[in-house]
Every structure is written in structure tokens, then in C-alpha cells.
A = this chain, B = another copy of it.
Amino acid sequence: MTTEAVLAVDIGGTNVRLALVDATGNLLADWRATLHLSHVQSETTMIDTIAELLRPTLRKHPVRAIGIGFPGFFDTSRGLLIASPNLPYIHNLPLAKLLTTALSVPVTLQNDALCAALGEFHFGEGRDASNLLHITLGTGVGGGLILNGQPWTGESGMAMEFGHTRVHPEPTARWCGCGNQGCLEAYASATAITRMYADITGERLDAKQVQQRAREGDSLAHALWTQAGSSLGAAIAQCVVLLDIHRITISGGLLGAWDLFYPALHNTLERVVISAQRERVSVRASRLNDRAGLLGAAILARLSL
């Protein structure tokens, strides 16, 4: 592998981050852009839109490889984007190949949460671990799993649908966007916090405002963050009980509420994980400040060189 910089891209629902990343994980330059993928109505338009977004950067900074984190399920062995939750027209799209042709630079893609896991594993709080569960807490809840240093994608690229771990099986549990009840994402995402607060008070606040309210002594706001923490703790505990992995990291927009949700997360883990494992498990806040996904995308790019 060479030390030259690669182009890393982290594509979200509307926000895109781009960076030139060197071999040691330094961002030599980085940019933000807006991409309204939900407005795009076909595979062809989507490819054109992404290619056009990247071309100006490539003209100014020619690179030999591009890595992209993208919200969707990938079949890595066949190089296909199988599906993307918010882009219903996508079905087994050879996105990497098509973008490589459009841009004349090798493009590698992977699920955005798995990219964040890769970044955290190589450059963040997972640096000294051999296995890692990385959780992205934002609008939704994502997860990426590293086993023996390798990304675990599952048999159909759909592993670690961590937001759809079922943490509340009771019949009165909240409904999730996926059509099931009681999913983690229905309790511990920014969307869930906003909805639950609005359902009870009638007041529609974003997750940051509900944080603020909790800090000002609003007991409902506080209870919602506690519930988010205990739901997260229950989902993490399931993963620890099944896989016996000890390092868990969390990144994403809700990290600012760490002090509000972590105590309940910790208590739930303590209560549910069997005692012999308890003291080995370490749940840590990412310190990469949202660079995890970009750094993981850079690793993808570098591996293709």
C-alpha cells in the first residue's frame, strides 16, 4: 500500500462529507456538500448525481482511489448495492463498477455504519481491540461489526441491522419505521426522541433541544434519554452474550447526550451481562468527531490500491 492520499466520501441522507486522507488517517483537506438522494428517482440519475458531485474535487485533487460509505446493503463479493432503505428503486446495482467507469478512478463502496466501524477500529477507540461493535447514533441507529480484524457483512450484506434489534417485545412497544415493533431505533434515535417527546407533550423539538430540556430539569426529557440508554444497553448486552466481544464504540449526532443516556446503558449492561464478562466489556464514546465514516471509507480506498 502506498502512502499517497485517497478520496474518502461519507454519503448520508442529505449531507455528504469528502476528504483527502493520508495513510495515517490525517484529513489533508475536507469538504461538506449536500446531496438530495431522496429527490433522485432512478439508478441512472443517482449515479450521475454522485459522479457530478465528485468530479470537481477529482479535477483539483487527482487520486488513485475513492472509498465511499453509503446507506445501503452491499454484496461485497459480487460488488452489488443490494438495496438502500430510502431508495426503493435500487435492486442489485453494480454501483462500484458504474462509478468507476463514470469517474475513471477505482471506487470501493461499503455500508456507511460498517465504514464508521472500520474507521473507529483502525484509528479510534477500537485501535487496540481485535473485535469491535460500533454503533452510529443519529437520525437512525446503525451498527458495524469487526471480527478478527475483518468487517463482518453477513451472508447477504445485511449484518448488524443494530437499530432493528428488538429491545421491547411487549405488545405496547413503539412501532419502528421498518414495520416491526420494539426496535432499538424506535427508542434510541434522534427521530425517536423527537417523536416520543411530541407524542406526550404535543411539542415538536429536535433531539438537541430535548437534551437541553433534560439538562434544565424537564423530567420527561430526562426519562426519554434514560430509556434510550437502557434500550441501547439491552441491545449491546444481546450482542455481548451472543458473540462475547468486549469493545463497543458509539459515534454520531447523539453523542452530545452521552452523559444523559450512558448511566442507564451501563446499569442495564451490568444487570444483563453475565458476571464473568461484565468487567471486560468496555463501551466508549468515539473521539473521532464524526470522522469515523470518512476514515473507514479511506481504508476501503487504500485496500484497493
Which positions in A face B, CB cutoff 8 Å? Answer: 73, 82-83, 130-131, 143, 145, 147, 152-162, 164-170, 178-180, 234, 237-239, 241-246, 271-272, 274-277, 280
Contact = CB atoms under 8 A, between A and B. Distances in A.
Contact of A170 (B170, B180, B242, B280): B170
B243 A154 contact: yes
Contacts of A272: 166, 180
A276 B159 CA distance: 12
Question: Number of copies of this chain in the oligomer?
Answer: 2
B237 A239 contact: no
Contacts of A241: 161, 164-166
A177 to B, nearest CB: 11
Nearest to A231: B169
Given A159-B244, A239-B242, A242-B242, A169 B234 contact: yes
Given A166-B234, A166-B272, A155 B246 contact: yes
Contacts of A166: 234, 237-238, 241, 272
A245 to B, nearest CB: 6
A242 B275 CA distance: 23
Contact of A156 (B168, B169, B276): B276
B169 A167 contact: yes
A241 B245 CA distance: 17
